[in-house]
Amino acid sequence: MIGNWSPTVSRATRRPSAPVTYALITLCCLLFVTGPAAGLNPAYGSGDALLAAQRAYFHRWGVVPAELFQGSPRAALTPATALFVHGSWVHLLGNLLFLYVFGVMTEERMGRVQFTLFYLGCGYLALLGYAAANSASQQSLVGASGAISAVLGAFLYLFPGARVTSLLPFLFFLPLRFPAWIVLPFWAALQWLAAGQAPTGPGVAYLAHLVGFGLGFVYAWVRFGRTTRVKSAPAPAPEGENQP
């Protein structure tokens, strides 16, 4: 899961065109509700049978670090397929909120084809980086958090002054607005701290978040250069939410 706060970004009154972002959200939702994790498809059974189906599903489509570097063509594809698999409703909705909030403006700035390749490439490398650092792990890793973290990194470079409304738990969920250059580095710092303290085993792959975030920021920096940065978002409009 990407984080523990709910963001929104002020946008121009003209709705940005972001068909790839909307297609990714739709695809992830369809795959989730038809798969075993949602618990809605009777074909997977219930009780122990459902739990077994979920484990098999995550193992097949998710990244298993211990298997990834053994030369299997199927395993080599899993950092791509895992981007479209989520483990729970909270996991799905948390990731897709962040993708919607930060992906729309990033896609419009990059363009459809470039954004698609950027999302898939950074997501693949983020999960690959996590697997390399945990090469003995048998735990399946699923989720789009690495790719979405890359979108956050690119957004930070492209729109550092965009106002992000955040609901922070330790501030009693008060809606506070800060520029992206404050919010997103703060988010990255939390991932860094959590990565250093997280126990070994199932849970949130914070390292994948950090790898994705760094890749996204560096890509935007190299690709677009300092002269193309947008220091602030346009006129505000009505506002509109992990664990790989």
Q: What share of the chain is helix, strand, coil (3-state, %, to 5)?
A: 60, 5, 30
* Spatial separation of the C-alpha atoms in residues 116 and 120, rounded to whole Å: 6
- If one counts every other C-beta atom within 10 angstroms of the C-beta of residue 197, the result is 8
* Spatial separation of the C-alpha atoms in residues 134 and 28, rounded to whole Å: 26
- Segment 15-31, tens digit of pLDDT: 668 999 999 999 999 99
* pLDDT grade for 234, boundaries at 50, 70 and 90: very low
Which of 147, 165, 168, 142 has the alpha carbon at shortest distance from 103?
A: 147
* Spatial separation of the C-alpha atoms in residues 198 and 74, rounded to whole Å: 29
Q: What is the mean pLDDT of residues 44-52?
A: 93
* Spatial separation of the C-alpha atoms in residues 153 and 232, rounded to whole Å: 16
pLDDT of residue 155: 95
pLDDT of residue 180: 84
Percentage of residues in the chain with pLDDT exceeding 70? Answer: 76
- Segment 135-188, tens digit of pLDDT: 988 899 999 999 999 999 999 999 998 887 665 544 434 455 667 888 888 888
Segment among 57-66, 68-77, 203-212 with least mean pLDDT? 203-212
CB 192 within 8 A of CB 210: yes
* Spatial separation of the C-alpha atoms in residues 102 and 96, rounded to whole Å: 10
pLDDT of residue 2: 57
Q: What is the mean pLDDT of residues 179-199?
A: 75
pLDDT of residue 237: 35
pLDDT of residue 168: 52
pLDDT of residue 183: 80
pLDDT of residue 3: 53
User: Could you confirm whether 88 is annotated as catalytic?
Assistant: no
| Given the residues 86, 91, 137, 145, the one annotated as active site | 145
Residue 229 has pLDDT above 90, yes or no: no
Residue 132 has pLDDT above 50, yes or no: yes
Of residues 239 and 162, the one with the higher pLDDT is 162
CB 68 within 8 A of CB 76: yes
User: Could you confirm whether 59 is annotated as catalytic?
Assistant: no
Residue 11 phi, psi dihedral angles, 5° rounding: -125, 170
- Segment 87-103, tens digit of pLDDT: 999 999 989 999 998 99
* Mean pLDDT value across the chain: 82
What CATH fold (topology level) applies to the domain 9-228? Answer: Rhomboid-like fold (1.20.1540)
pLDDT of residue 75: 93
pLDDT of residue 10: 52
* pLDDT grade for 11, boundaries at 50, 70 and 90: low
Of residues 228 and 141, the one with the higher pLDDT is 141
